[in-house]
Amino acid sequence: MNKKVVTFGEVMMRLSPPGYEKFSQASSFELVYGGGEANVGISCAYLGMEATHVTRFPDNALGKAATQFLRRHWLNTDYVVYGDDMMGKYFLEKGAVHRPSEVIYEREGSAFSLIQPEMVNWEEILKDADWFHWTGITPAISEGAAQCCLDAIKTANRLGVTVSGDVNSRNNMWKYGKTMRQVIPDMVKNTDVVITSSRGIREMFDFGSPEDGFQDLAKILISNFPGIKKVVKKTRRIMSASHHQIQGKLWNGEKYIKTDMLNITHIIDRVGTGDAFAAGLIYGLLHYKDKQALDFASAACALKHTVPGDVNTVSLENVLSLMEGDSGEIKR
């Protein structure tokens, strides 16, 4: 039986100049849809799992178009909520070589930011799920979104559903009167698998010092929140906008595990690569032991760098092939 994954978060319209043009050169924009949590759900669906995404769209043609995008990529949209009239959006100028990418967000007042807990029935949505995934972006958007996310986590706990959270500090997003240090700890303490960074642990929880490495900080995090079973990190080394190296790291309370460094020499699209890592980790932990799960996550992440758009559409066979050392041979 296929594993069932539920994700929750905002989906935005992404607008980019064609190719690698700068904003100042653009006379048109390419349109796709994406959002961190939905990206994870889509990646899980392409890996063969049953995936449901919960979000709120405007009740207009744009909201319906975004819903169609999710359905086209194998997501269950039965629990999408509709209301209000604004779609969150962001503009992406893709970097190349030594020119970095640039992102501009327009999401304040979006339909998702106005979501309220009573709009979502988590008991029904999570009743037969194996996994629930959230990110630190959602509770930063609005108080309603934060409460919805916390309700989902607590319901998942009550129903025995594994919870993962991709939580890194987004200081500039917290604008509704609460800080991440007031909100994030309540969510993290009820989360089984935490994907974060050394800086994120220091900034969100005020743990450790700049001298502490990831393993030390992961130990401190679990000692403060014993409900956490694994702390995971993706390390990225940047040689240029087109050439990166990535490595997965994991602390499971007993053992420190890391993958070999994967060399990505010709990046097509970096956006959504962290989401591909999270999806790969979810699939991996549902099917393998920790080391193989981390290798799977890193391979999925590396492959997303070759896929245009927000979402990772590579197959399970693609990821397994890269894990086995096959890199780029034509499939006939």
The encoded tokens of residue 315 equal 């197959």
pLDDT tens by residue, 153-164: 999 999 999 999
Handedness of CA 65, 19, 307, 249 (dihedral sign): negative
Q: What integer pLDDT is reported at residue 23 of this predicted model?
A: 94
Domains of the chain by residue range: 4-322
Q: What integer pLDDT is reported at residue 123 of this predicted model?
A: 98
Q: Is the pLDDT of residue 327 over 70?
A: no
- 312 and 70 in contact (C-beta within 8 Å)? no
Q: Is the pLDDT of residue 331 over 60?
A: no
In the chain the first and final C-alpha atoms are separated, in Å, by 29
Q: Phi, psi at residue 330, to the nearest 5°?
A: -65, 135
**Residues 89-98, mean pLDDT to the nearest whole number:** 89
pLDDT tens by residue, 7-29: 999 999 999 999 899 999 999 99
- 249 and 260 in contact (C-beta within 8 Å)? no
Q: What integer pLDDT is reported at residue 210 of this predicted model?
A: 85
Rounded to an integer, what distance in angstroms lies between the CA atom of residue 78 and that of residue 301?
A: 28
Range 4-322: architecture per CATH:
3-Layer(aba) Sandwich (3.40)
Report pTM. 0.93
Q: What integer pLDDT is reported at residue 328 of this predicted model?
A: 55
> Over pLDDT 90: what percentage of the chain?
83
Q: Is the pLDDT of residue 330 over 70?
A: no
Of 48-52, 197-201, 276-280, 328-332, the least confident: 328-332
Of the pLDDT bands very low, low, confident and very high (cuts 50, 70, 90), residue 321 is very high
Q: Is the pLDDT of residue 329 over 70?
A: no
Q: Exposure pattern of 92-113 as b/e (b: 16+ CB <10 Å)?
A: bbbbeeeeebeeeeebeebbbb
Q: What integer pLDDT is reported at residue 262 of this predicted model?
A: 92
SS3 of residue 60 by DSSP: coil
Q: Give the Cβ contact number of residue 65 at 10 Å.
A: 14
CA atoms within 13 A on the CB side of 30: 15
Q: Is the pLDDT of residue 80 over 60?
A: yes
pLDDT tens by residue, 286-320: 999 999 999 999 999 999 999 998 899 999 999 99
Of the pLDDT bands very low, low, confident and very high (cuts 50, 70, 90), residue 332 is very low
Q: What integer pLDDT is reported at residue 325 of this predicted model?
A: 81
Q: Is the pLDDT of residue 126 over 80?
A: yes
- Mean pLDDT score across all residues of the chain: 94
